[in-house]
Structure 1
Amino acid sequence: MEDLTLDTELSAAYLSGDEIKLACSLLYQAYHDDPFFMSCFNATAADYEQKLRAAIREELMIFWEQQQPIIGVYQADTLVAVACITLPDNKLEPQRFWHWRLKMMLTAGYVSTKQMIEKEQKVKDVLQYNAYHLLSFIAVHPNHQHHGIGHYILAAIDSLVAENSQSSGLAVLVTLDKYTRFFESFAFNLVDKIQVGKIEANLMFKAKKETSS
């Protein structure tokens, strides 16, 4: 796919199918201590990590099958960041497909699967925009954090949003205060607080800038 290179040191491009496993590993590291997943899959349980890996794998596979953007940032040939974005005209309804639900219930359990569906449905219910992009996952490799890579990948996503005439902007659900501040620094505004299970999360939105004709 087309290269989204923004400077000479880093490059951003859509991931190929062969890179999904690398993306899963990166997202697993990033979301291991995420409050939502820790609550959803019971972080104190012996099978927590197994369930988290399985959930991330199934999510990325459905993204890939439905041709939703999975963007990777590379430093030389090393994948250092990844983001999964849902398009405005996507077919990924919160209920997902029956085979996704079946796989998730077998690996993560009924209650956990129900909470994941509930989270996405609440986001959809709160946002009043007709069409928007949703940042479902974003991760920067632990060894490459605090070097501006997070801002870099958001800039690449901004370009993706700007090119879509249907989209009104980009939404993201944030579960940690430090990431709320990060997204605020990139012009995201708080829309509402959403309660999912035992976790309260901030639903944030960045409106697309209208370009003059």
Structure 2
Amino acid sequence: MSQAPAAEARVCLLDSGYRRETRALLYTVYRNDPTFAYLLEAHRPGYERRLRTLLREWVRQHFYLQLPAVGLLLDDRLVSVALIVPPLRRLGVADSWAWRLRMMVGAGVRATRRFMAYQAAVSTCRPTDQVHVLPLLGVLPALQGQMYPTQLLHAVQQWCMKNGQVEGIVVDTGNDEHVAFYHTQGFVEVGEVAIGTVRQRVLMYDSAQVSEPLA
């Protein structure tokens, strides 16, 4: 018996009321991510605590700074989210002393420094400052083989192309499958950073490739 096609989710611009759902979703997405496993030293005890701290404090500060977040809701359940940092807000979460202090207390000085160094290294790969950056994004693992990753990126592209004169959207990942997916969505590689043994690819969606804003 064939399965019914997946229902299209509702696109929503999220506010701080979605903080708890956002960090819970991101935890399921990044728990086994190779980049985060290296940065937060998954081989040492306390990895899950360090990861939860990072995501909790990042999401808290993101919404505190009133930075945009696009989500997909399926039957009022958050199933996908993308945090966005516009070009005019480049001094974002990792530049906040409040975030750094809470990270050092909850995740440790070593993890905080490693994560900040990773952020700085990735930023050097961006070909221009006039881009929207996606620091954290993902779809619930159980739904990743369906239409929702594509729907999320399309919603992000819509929002970004309609909010400011920018040259594109930038994302980075150490997951080869994710790199292949981004390629199908019009992203091209613009740089690479070595994160331990992980090849962290930086990809950009060039707004010049569309003649008009996405409908």
**Alpha-carbon distance in structure 2 between the residues aligned to 1:56 and 1:212:** 35
**Alpha-carbon distance in structure 2 between the residues aligned to 1:94 and 1:123:** 15
> What SS does structure 2 have at the residue aligned with 1:33?
coil
**Alpha-carbon distance in structure 1 between the residues aligned to 2:185 and 2:73:** 21
Cα 1:140–1:93 change in 2 (3 A) is: closer
**Alpha-carbon distance in structure 2 between the residues aligned to 1:15 and 1:93:** 17
1:1-36, CA deviations, whole angstroms, 9 ceiling, x for partnerless residues?
Answer: xxxxxxx83211112322110111110000001111
> What SS does structure 2 have at the residue aligned with 1:56?
helix
Cα contact 1:94–1:121 (8 A) shared by 2: no
Give the aligned partner of residue 53 of structure 1. 52
**Alpha-carbon distance in structure 2 between the residues aligned to 1:107 and 1:200:** 27
> What SS does structure 1 have at the residue aligned with 2:124?
helix
Give the aligned partner of residue 183 of structure 2. 184
**Alpha-carbon distance in structure 1 between the residues aligned to 2:146 and 2:212:** 33
1:99-122, CA deviations, whole angstroms, 9 ceiling, x for partnerless residues?
Answer: 211111111111211121112212
- Quote the offset at 1:91 in angstroms: 4.4
Cα contact 1:94–1:117 (8 A) shared by 2: no
Give the aligned partner of residue 81 of structure 1. 80
Give the aligned partner of residue 146 of structure 2. 147
User: Aligned-residue CA RMSD in angstroms?
Assistant: 1.9
Cα contact 2:190–2:203 (8 A) shared by 1: yes
> What SS does structure 2 have at the residue aligned with 1:136?
coil
- Quote the offset at 1:61 in angstroms: 0.9
- Answering whether residue 66 of structure 2 is matched by residue 67 of structure 1, we say yes
> What SS does structure 2 have at the residue aligned with 1:86?
coil
Give the aligned partner of residue 173 of structure 2. 174
Q: Which residue type is aligned with residue 188 of structure 1?
A: F
1:142-173, CA deviations, whole angstroms, 9 ceiling, x for partnerless residues?
Answer: 22221110000100011112113331100011
> What SS does structure 2 have at the residue aligned with 1:9?
coil
**Alpha-carbon distance in structure 1 between the residues aligned to 2:36 and 2:80:** 20
Q: Which residue type is aligned with residue 102 of structure 1?
A: L
> What SS does structure 1 have at the residue aligned with 2:71?
strand
1:43-87, CA deviations, whole angstroms, 9 ceiling, x for partnerless residues?
Answer: 122211011011001111111011111111011211111111111
Give the aligned partner of residue 5 of structure 1. none
Taking structure 2 as the reference length, what is the TM-score of the superposition?
A: 0.89
- Quote the offset at 1:206 in angstroms: 0.8
Give the aligned partner of residue 42 of structure 2. 43
**Alpha-carbon distance in structure 2 between the residues aligned to 1:107 and 1:212:** 45
Give the aligned partner of residue 111 of structure 2. 112
Cα contact 1:66–1:91 (8 A) shared by 2: no
- Answering whether residue 12 of structure 2 is matched by residue 10 of structure 1, we say no
Taking structure 1 as the reference length, what is the TM-score of the superposition?
A: 0.90
Cα 1:117–1:94 change in 2 (3 A) is: farther
**Alpha-carbon distance in structure 2 between the residues aligned to 1:130 and 1:16:** 25
> What SS does structure 1 have at the residue aligned with 2:135?
strand
Q: Which residue type is aligned with residue 171 of structure 2?
A: V
How many equivalent residue pairs? 206
Gaps of 5+ in 2: 1-6
- Quote the offset at 1:199 in angstroms: 2.9
Give the aligned partner of residue 4 of structure 2. none
> What SS does structure 1 have at the residue aligned with 2:18?
helix
> What SS does structure 2 have at the residue aligned with 1:181?
helix
**Alpha-carbon distance in structure 2 between the residues aligned to 1:196 and 1:90:** 25
**Alpha-carbon distance in structure 1 between the residues aligned to 2:197 and 2:102:** 24
